[in-house]
Each structure stands twice: as structure tokens, then as C-alpha cells.
């Protein structure tokens, strides 16, 4: 690992001298890494065409694994080794504090455009006054439900988790009795990874159980409301959700849902456009609502997601890279992304865009949802966030898979987080 880093450092220096010799004004090839696959990858070439024509540079995309945890591991290694082969990184909303030192401060280069974005999103990417990454879309999950099935069994759209559990159970039972053996009530993300942190944060927060670590750094997770939230979730596994949900990520849940085998699904807005594609078994049969609330709390919670682009400080052509990052965050591309993939724009003006309203009605509905979305505790826990998240999703995964009760696991989690925190985060 270390000898490799030295080697790549040497190569970097060699390559740096070479590129200096070959002239600065030449067209550069900007390399972009992103974990987005499928249709977004296919359309990438067409999407960047106008930028390539305008600037004379070229853009190359390197696809990454779909799990954001895997992406993070790879990026961290590349950045630690000073990799100059990658210029622009697509980064998760929670990474900014952890990778801040390795990226260029975009604030001086984006003065003219940051004002167009939602201030809360820009703030989430700002670490000690440095704009680490430029947002390209934001995310807040939804409860997907099957309109046709709810109508068939004359059920209302649930507004609490308890109602949802009941409705899911009753429709699942009746559908199965009618011969639809593969149907499940509710699919979500239960694998032990970052996605489970999002799902579980929503349950806990919507029950009024806080947000794991509060904004001021206090550890709040061990409380009766969080315990009842986890107990309810545990009751889903094997009853309204398949047992395998404990290894599902977003795409696994969408697999069950889009083949028509689930009544409800918790997922991000990207599944909306895909669910309405021509080969989907649930095309035009579903709708979305904000996630339910829990207990007697009455307020639902959605975890704030979203992706950004950051420019590596080891890039050989930072100007081209910055120009490319600005392009990916531009109105033109954000609108395209909204229309094609139902990605939520980060630009205020696009929420009143008539094309988007017509083609992807979920987006205009979602403005309020993401504006009130709960951030994961990446800001207060700073560089320790990944470990906090890992301890949290492990405790939840253990509870859901029957490895200790919610009380035991959360008590242990509180102790571990306190140990990790030490005197301060």
C-alpha cells in the first residue's frame, strides 16, 4: 500500500512534468468517477457533449460499484495515494467533512452560482468555510405504494408506521390467499451498510427518538422511543418483509417492487422514473407519499441524501475539472437529470419548472420533504462519522436479525459511541 503510494507519487511528478511540457492551453481529458450505473451511465456521453463542444476538453467516466460504502473506500485510497488519474469525484452528502482536505475549495470558483442552490445544501458541503463539493442533486426518500392494490382492498394511504404495518399485512394476506404467492407487504434496505443508517434514522426520528447524535454532539440514541421504533421494524422482518430484506440495498428492494411483488417500498426518488419505464410491471400502478410518522409523534422524517461533485487537489488540470464540475451542477444538466431520472434538483428555480412538473410530478411535491429532511450526524461527528454510522447500523442490524434486543443493543451502542467520542468528536 505504502510503496504503491510512493510509486504513484513518483508517477504523478513525472506526469506533471510531462503535461507542463506539452503546454497548458491544450485540451484536457477530465476523468470523472461516479457510482451511478444503468441508464445514467449510458446517457453520460450525450449529456456532456455540449460541454465538450464548448470547451474543447473531453470527459471520461469511470463507473464505480453501486454501494456508496465501497465507493468511499476506493476514493479514500486514491486520494491518500495522491492519484492524479481522477479529476472529479461524485461524492455523497455525508463525505464532505471526511474528505475535505483532499479537495479543492470551490467557493472562489462558484461565487456566481452558489446563490441559485438551496442554502441548506450548500451549507452541508461547506467545511470550515471551504466549499468542498458542488451539489448536483439532492435526495429524500418516499413511501411508494401500489394504488391498484390499495384501491382493490379499499385501504387508505397510511400516515403512520403502525397503519402501514396493518395495511401491508392485510393486503399481503388477502393477495396470497388469492394465489399471488410472491407478494410482500413492505420492502426496504436492511443490509448492514450506510443505507440502513438512513432507514433506521427515519424510524427513530419519526418516533420522536432524536437523530443518533444531535447537532451539538450529544449522543441521544438510547431512549424508549428509539427502542419502540426498532421493535416495530423488527416485527416486519419475516412478516410483511421477506427475511432477505436484511441483505437488501436499494436495488434489491427495487427488484422486488418493480416486478410487482411488494405493496409498499421505502426508496429514493430515482425509483419513480424507473418504475414508470416501459418494462416495469408496476408502470402507472403506483404513487408516492412522504414516509409515515411513528407512535404518537405525528411528524414524519426523511433522511437527507444527495450527491455532489468535488475536484481532487491532485488533478493535473484543475481548471478544466472545475469547469466540468460547474457544468454537472448547471441548470441544463440538473433539469435533464430531473426529467430523465427523477433526481431532485438543488436549484430553487427548477421546482417551478413546467416541464418537470408535467413529466415528473414527484419532484415539485418533494420540495417540502427534502427541505425538512433530517441530516445524518456527519457534521457533528466529523471524521468519525463512518464509524458512528457503522456502529449504529450494526446495532440495528443485530436487533433486526434477532441478535440481542433493541434495549440491549442501543444501550451498548450508547456506551460505544461515548467511548468513541471521548472528550469531544
Partner 1 sequence: MDTSLSLSKPNTKLKSVSSLRQQKLRAAMWFLAPMVTVLFCVAGWPLLRSIYFSFTDTSLTDLYGGQWVGFKNYLTWTTLSSGRTIFSGTLADPTWWNAVWNTIKFSVVSVSIETILGLMVALVLNQEFKGRGLVRAAILIPWAIPTIVSAKMWGWMLNDQFGIINHMLMALGLIDSNVAWTSNIDTAMFSVLVVDVWKTTPFMALLCLAGLQMIPRDIYEAAKIDGIHPVRVFFHVTLPLVRPALMVAVIFRMLDALRVFDLIYILTPNSKATKTMSVVSRENLIEFDKFAYGSAQSTLLFAIIAIFVCLYIWLGKLNLNGDTQR
Residue ranges that bind partner 1, judged by CB under 8 A:
1-5, 69, 72-73, 76-77, 80, 98, 101-102, 182, 190-193, 242-247, 255-256, 261, 383-384, 386-387, 390, 394, 397-398, 401-403, 419
In whole angstroms, how close is the CB of 360 to partner 1 at the nearest point? Answer: 28
Beta strand spans in 8-71 (E): 29-34, 58-63
- CA dihedral defined by 280, 272, 249, 266, rounded to 10 degrees? -110
In whole angstroms, how close is the CB of 187 to partner 1 at the nearest point? Answer: 9
Q: What does the alpha-carbon distance between residue 92 and residue 137 come to, in Å, rounded to a whole number?
A: 10
In whole angstroms, how close is the CB of 256 to partner 1 at the nearest point? Answer: 6
Judging by DSSP bridges, how do beta strands 126-127 and 58-63 pair with one another? unpaired
Answer yes or no: are the C-beta atoms of 198 and 305 closer than 8 Å.
yes
| Cell digits of residue 111 | 461565487
- For partner 1, give the closer residue by CB, 239 or 359: 239
Answer yes or no: are the C-beta atoms of 245 and 190 closer than 8 Å.
yes
Q: Let me know the angle formed at the C-alpha of 301 by 290 and 35, rounded to the nearest 5 degrees.
A: 80
Lateral strand order in the sheet of 58-63: 58-63, 29-34, 88-92, 305-311, 134-139
- For partner 1, give the closer residue by CB, 98 or 165: 98
- For partner 1, give the closer residue by CB, 55 or 401: 401
- Distance spanning both ends of the chain, measured CA to CA: 28
In whole angstroms, how close is the CB of 303 to partner 1 at the nearest point? Answer: 19
In whole angstroms, how close is the CB of 34 to partner 1 at the nearest point? Answer: 19
Return the H-helix or E-strand segment holding 137. strand 134-139
In whole angstroms, how close is the CB of 279 to partner 1 at the nearest point? Answer: 16
Sign of CA dihedral 339, 341, 343, 346: negative
- For partner 1, give the closer residue by CB, 222 or 381: 381
- For partner 1, give the closer residue by CB, 338 or 379: 379
- For partner 1, give the closer residue by CB, 372 or 401: 401
Q: What does the alpha-carbon distance between residue 303 and residue 374 come to, in Å, rounded to a whole number?
A: 5
- For partner 1, give the closer residue by CB, 102 or 228: 102
In whole angstroms, how close is the CB of 329 to partner 1 at the nearest point? Answer: 25
- For partner 1, give the closer residue by CB, 121 or 187: 187
Q: Side-chain half-sphere of 366: how many Cα atoms within 13 Å? A: 32
In whole angstroms, how close is the CB of 247 to partner 1 at the nearest point? Answer: 3
Helices marked H in 259-317:
270-275
In whole angstroms, how close is the CB of 13 to partner 1 at the nearest point? Answer: 16
- For partner 1, give the closer residue by CB, 100 or 149: 100
Cα–Cα nearest to 373, from 169, 202, 176, 210: 202
- Longest Cα separation, the chain: 74
Q: What does the alpha-carbon distance between residue 76 and residue 403 come to, in Å, rounded to a whole number?
A: 32
Amino acid at each position: 500500500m505504502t510503496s504503491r503510494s510512493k510509486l504513484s507519487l513518483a508517477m504523478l511528478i513525472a506526469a506533471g512534468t510531462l503535461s507542463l511540457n506539452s503546454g497548458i492551453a491544450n485540451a484536457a481529458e477530465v476523468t470523472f468517477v461516479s457510482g451511478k450505473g444503468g441508464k445514467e451511465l449510458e446517457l453520460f456521453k450525450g449529456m456532456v457533449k455540449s460541454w465538450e463542444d464548448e470547451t474543447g476538453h473531453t470527459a471520461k467516466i469511470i463507473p464505480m460499484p453501486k454501494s456508496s460504502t465501497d465507493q468511499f473506500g476506493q476514493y479514500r485510497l486514491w486520494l491518500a495515494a495522491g492519484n492524479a488519474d481522477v479529476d472529479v469525484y461524485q461524492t455523497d452528502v455525508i463525505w464532505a467533512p471526511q474528505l475535505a482536505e483532499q479537495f479543492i475549495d470551490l467557493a472562489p470558483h462558484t461565487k456566481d452560482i452558489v446563490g441559485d442552490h438551496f442554502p441548506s445544501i450548500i451549507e452541508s458541503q461547506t467545511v470550515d468555510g471551504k466549499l468542498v463539493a458542488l451539489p448536483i442533486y439532492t435526495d429524500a426518500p418516499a413511501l411508494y405504494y401500489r394504488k391498484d392494490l390499495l384501491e382493490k382492498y379499499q385501504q387508505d394511504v397510511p400516515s403512520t408506521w403502525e397503519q402501514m404495518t396493518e395495511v401491508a399485512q392485510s393486503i399481503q394476506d388477502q393477495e396470497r390467499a388469492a394465489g399471488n404467492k410472491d407478494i410482500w407487504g413492505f420492502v426496504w434496505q436492511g443490509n448492514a451498510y450506510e443505507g440502513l443508517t438512513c432507514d433506521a434514522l427515519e424510524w427513530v426520528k419519526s418516533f420522536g427518538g432524536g437523530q443518533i447524535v444531535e447537532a451539538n454532539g450529544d449522543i441521544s440514541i438510547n431512549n424508549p422511543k428509539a427502542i419502540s421504533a426498532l421493535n416495530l421494524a423488527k416485527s416486519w422482518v419475516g412478516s410483511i418483509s421477506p427475511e432477505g430484506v436484511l441483505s437488501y440495498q436499494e436495488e434489491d428492494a427495487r427488484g422486488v417492487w418493480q416486478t410487482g411483488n411488494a405493496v409498499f417500498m421505502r426508496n429514493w426518488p430515482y425509483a419513480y422514473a424507473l418504475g414508470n419505464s416501459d418494462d416495469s410491471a408496476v408502470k402507472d400502478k403506483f404513487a408516492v407519499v412522504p414516509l409515515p410518522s411513528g407512535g404518537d409523534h405525528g411528524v414524519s422524517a426523511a433522511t437527507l441524501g444527495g450527491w455532489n461533485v468535488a475536484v481532487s487537489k491532485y488533478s493535473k488540470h484543475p481548471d478544466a475539472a472545475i469547469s466540468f464540475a460547474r457544468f454537472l451542477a448547471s441548470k441544463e444538466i440538473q433539469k435533464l437529470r430531473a426529467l430523465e431520472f427523477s433526481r431532485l434538483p438543488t436549484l430553487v428555480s427548477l421546482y417551478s419548472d413546467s416541464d418537470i412538473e408535467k413529466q415528473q410530478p414527484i419532484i415539485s411535491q418533494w420540495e417540502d420533504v427534502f427541505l425538512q429532511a433530517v441530516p445524518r450526524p456527519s457534521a457533528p461527528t466529523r471524521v468519525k462519522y463512518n464509524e458512528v454510522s457503522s456502529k449504529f447500523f450494526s446495532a440495528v442490524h443485530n436487533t433486526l436479525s434477532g441478535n440481542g434486543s433493541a434495549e440491549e443493543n442501543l444501550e451498548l451502542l450508547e456506551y460505544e459511541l461515548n467511548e468513541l467520542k471521548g472528550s469531544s468528536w
